[in-house]
Structure 1
Amino acid sequence: MYLFERLIWMHRTQDQADRNKWDETERKEFGPSQVRIDPDAKEWGVEDCLQIEPTDAGSIYAINDRFLDVRASFQEEKRGLITLLFFAFVYVLGYMGLYRLSLEPLFWMISANTTPWDRPVEAGDWVGVVLGFILLAAAALVVLRYGWRWLRVEIFTQRHLVARFNRVTRQVYLNRPPYAGGVVVLPWEAAVAAIDPSEPDHHGMSGFVAVVFSKERSGSDYGDTVFLGRPMRGSREIEGLWEYIRRYMEDGPNSVPKPGRLLPLSPWPLEPVRATFRFMSPMWRSSSRPVALLTGLLLVPLLALHALSHWISLLLCWAPQWPEIIRDAGLPGKAVPKVTTLSDFGPELAERIFYNDKRDEAKARPPRRKKKVGSRESA
């Protein structure tokens, strides 16, 4: 599911009028933004080595001497929910509505001059069937018209979001659908990980490596943010994945352990089962084993339905495709891809991205402290 990525891109590309209206509503409802960036906080860039054992965190698609492919989706383990709603819609409106209440009675009335309810055809039956078909078809078209773009955050889109770290070109390539930003090229030296090794380890299953590509570090007018890895078990595992990526880029594939298992890009049915049951891991570790086992058994029907929907959504998608220049990047004699700039999105989107990024930076900037004016002591 790429709902988060789509919402982020919608936020970055909304026009100025909508953004101003949203900010005003947010200010009235919630007050000033409480999200602040500490200008004195240490930035953990690509030059900063962590004193921690690197781990692949089960998040690697491919690794070789040239590039490292890492999972780059924030909510991929939750995919299947929209697919389930889609097929429920198809069943209720398509089968029960259009077919059972309209097309099937119409077939009986035309072919046998009777109805499925074993009574002669009356004039009102023709009116009811035709009118019902028109209304149900119109409802289906309206739902698809306004729901299609949200349906595509999970099905009829690319199967995975991938971040490719190319150590030869010293670049990072993000492969996302056009509605989530598309394929972009970013300089490796601009990467900053949102981590703090001084903090205690927070255990859980919702952590990701957030990597910001800073415009200040790159000198470009375009920056981006990506969330890497599967849901991890705590701060140390998050830091371990970042160190794995950093050492690979700085020192090569021989400096990191070989991944225990590579993630498949094909719709392998075992992956949805692993993703669905993965959320039980914290309960299994923190609570009593009998309670965790009983809870898991009670939830088996729902978990199985989610896993099936997850797998169906994978089958209805296609493998991510890279442009040829990125596929060949780092090979002898091949061109180095151009770093993405705002102009690559066209003048209208470039203006919107620039405006919204500036607004976000201003909201996150700490407020200026007013200087206290003290009374002058008399001599």
Structure 2
Amino acid sequence: MKSETRKKLKMGYINADMTLKEVQKDYTQESISDNPRPLGPYYAYNGRYLEIRGGMFENFRGILTWISLLVFFIPFSSGYYCIDSFLVLYFGETNNAVWHVISIIFYSIICLPTSYLCIRYFRYIHRFELFTIRHIRVRFNRVTRQVYIQRPKYCGGTVVFKWEHIMPSNFGESGSDMGGTNMVNLMTFHPYKTGFPVAHSVGIGKNTYNGQDYKDEWEFIRRYMEHGPDNLPKPRLSTHLPMPFHGLEGHIKPMIHAAKNAPTFWMYILLIPVFLILLPFYTVGYFISECLCWQPRWPKVIRQAGRKGKPIPKETTLSDYSPKVQQAILESRLEWGVRDEKTGKWVDYGNS
């Protein structure tokens, strides 16, 4: 965010400060679970790399799709009626020309401004679920010892980081044991390690209410990267294609959790019709969202990474972005301070 924008919105810098001990630790060498499990969904798994779904708030996907379709209906329907009235006048198929002229003016007044608002502003909202990448993907390549994150260009694009720089954020020294929060497994690449001015974070896998699930899946990925796929359970692979049942699990689990934690029997009874209405509504919206998105290929250098004789992808640096974006990134670097827990002072690691 640009400094001028911060001033205009009266926003300061949100210090996501961590301790020196936290950012110096190599989290890839410590075992934190005796039960490594692939919760997924996984899209690829072999001796060279594994690939898992990234992104967050998949369990809410579908709501914005219905809202977007409703918003789109306004300019599309008014544009249709405007064109229809014009064609009726043009071919002389009416005896009431005045009415159709008024209709053209009325629907034009609705169509043109709403179309402008959709193109100019609403595209920043609907592209979370429509006309964008179907699923963010994260690929862990154990040969090159790199992590690749595939994102839309407007969200930073595809980035490449070292495996050793990854930091689990839901548990351990860098996290807070986020059990019961229905969050995905969060991974962070802190600027102290990467040299990038700001942190890159990504959520992987499914939402869960069980804090142990975060540790089990992280341990599965950690052992795969450090020791290979031997002695690890093989994950069931999911398809990239849209499927009607994809949205069912993500929406039904929070509803089941709400039912289990209903304070009274009558509250439990009231939740039943809510489930019967909202579950199909969310699930269909999720499926529509998948159908109106696409799944792009990885860049060629990432697809071939780890093969004999093929180049190793370059790690992401500030110079990979346009000058305008570089400036905005540099103006946000103050959010990522590191504090020495012994002295209580900020550590100058070239990011201030």
Q: Give the TM-score taking structure 1 as reference length.
A: 0.79
Matched, 1:78 2:52: no
The SS at the match of 2:29 is coil
Name whichever of 223-232 and 295-304 sits farther off: 295-304
TM-aligned CA deviation for residue 168 of structure 1: 0.2
Q: Is the 8 A contact 1:69 1:165 kept in 2?
A: yes
Q: Matches of 2:49 and 2:208 in 1, distance apart? A: 23
Residue-by-residue CA offset, 1:29-80 (whole Å, 9 max, x unaligned): xxx9585534455856111111331121233221110001011101223222
Paired position in structure 2 for 1:316 = 292
Of residues 164, 171, 186, the one that matches 1:210 is 186
Residue-by-residue CA offset, 1:311-361 (whole Å, 9 max, x unaligned): 01111111132000000000111111111111111333223212312x102
TM-aligned CA deviation for residue 99 of structure 1: 3.2
Paired position in structure 1 for 2:6 = 19
Q: Which runs of 5+ in 1 are unaligned?
A: 1-13, 115-119, 371-379
Per the alignment, do residues 111 and 330 of structure 1 end up closer, same or farther by CA in structure 2, a change over 3 Å counting?
Answer: same
Code of the residue aligned with 1:237 in structure 2: it is: D
Q: Matches of 1:209 and 1:110 in 2, distance apart? A: 60
Q: Matches of 2:194 and 2:242 in 1, distance apart? A: 37
Per the alignment, do residues 281 and 365 of structure 1 end up closer, same or farther by CA in structure 2, a change over 3 Å counting?
Answer: farther
Residue-by-residue CA offset, 1:92-134 (whole Å, 9 max, x unaligned): 4422x3334x3444444555653xxxxx5153x2441231232
Paired position in structure 2 for 1:273 = 248
Q: Is the 8 A contact 1:161 1:320 kept in 2?
A: no
Paired position in structure 2 for 1:193 = 168
Paired position in structure 1 for 2:49 = 67
Q: Matches of 1:213 and 1:202 in 2, distance apart? A: 19
Highest Rg: 1 or 2? 1
TM-aligned CA deviation for residue 270 of structure 1: 1.3
Q: Matches of 1:216 and 1:156 in 2, distance apart? A: 35
Q: Matches of 2:34 and 2:176 in 1, distance apart? A: 14
Superposed CA RMSD: 3.1
Q: Give the TM-score taking structure 2 as reference length.
A: 0.84
Q: How does 1:87-166 map to 2 (within 5 A)?
A: 87-95=69-77, 97-100=78-81, 102-111=82-91, 113-114=93-94, 120-121=95-96, 123=98, 125-146=99-120, 147-166=122-141
Per the alignment, do residues 355 and 315 of structure 1 end up closer, same or farther by CA in structure 2, a change over 3 Å counting?
Answer: same
Code of the residue aligned with 1:98 in structure 2: it is: G
Paired position in structure 2 for 1:52 = 34
The SS at the match of 1:231 is strand
Residue-by-residue CA offset, 1:179-221 (whole Å, 9 max, x unaligned): 1110111000111112435999764352222211133334566
Please identify runs of 4+ aligned residues in structure 1 that moved more than 6 A.
Answer: 198-201, 288-291, 366-370
Per the alignment, do residues 154 and 239 of structure 1 end up closer, same or farther by CA in structure 2, a change over 3 Å counting?
Answer: same
The SS at the match of 1:173 is strand
Code of the residue aligned with 2:154 in structure 1: it is: Y
Name whichever of 127-136 and 161-170 sits farther off: 127-136
Per the alignment, do residues 51 and 270 of structure 1 end up closer, same or farther by CA in structure 2, a change over 3 Å counting?
Answer: closer
TM-aligned CA deviation for residue 253 of structure 1: 1.0
Q: Matches of 1:289 and 1:67 in 2, distance apart? A: 48
Code of the residue aligned with 2:164 in structure 1: it is: E
Q: Matches of 1:49 and 1:322 in 2, distance apart? A: 31
The SS at the match of 1:159 is coil
Per the alignment, do residues 292 and 250 of structure 1 end up closer, same or farther by CA in structure 2, a change over 3 Å counting?
Answer: farther
Q: How does 1:220-231 map to 2 (within 5 A)?
A: 223-231=199-207
Q: How does 1:299-314 map to 2 (within 5 A)?
A: 299-314=275-290
Q: Is the 8 A contact 1:207 1:234 kept in 2?
A: no
Matched, 1:248 2:224: yes
Q: Which runs of 5+ in 2 are unaligned?
A: 346-352
Paired position in structure 1 for 2:307 = 331
TM-aligned CA deviation for residue 158 of structure 1: 1.2
Per the alignment, do residues 26 and 348 of structure 1 end up closer, same or farther by CA in structure 2, a change over 3 Å counting?
Answer: closer
Aligned length: 340
TM-aligned CA deviation for residue 293 of structure 1: 7.3
Name whichever of 346-355 and 279-288 sits farther off: 279-288
Paired position in structure 1 for 2:144 = 169
Q: Matches of 2:11 and 2:340 in 1, distance apart? A: 18
TM-aligned CA deviation for residue 15 of structure 1: 2.2
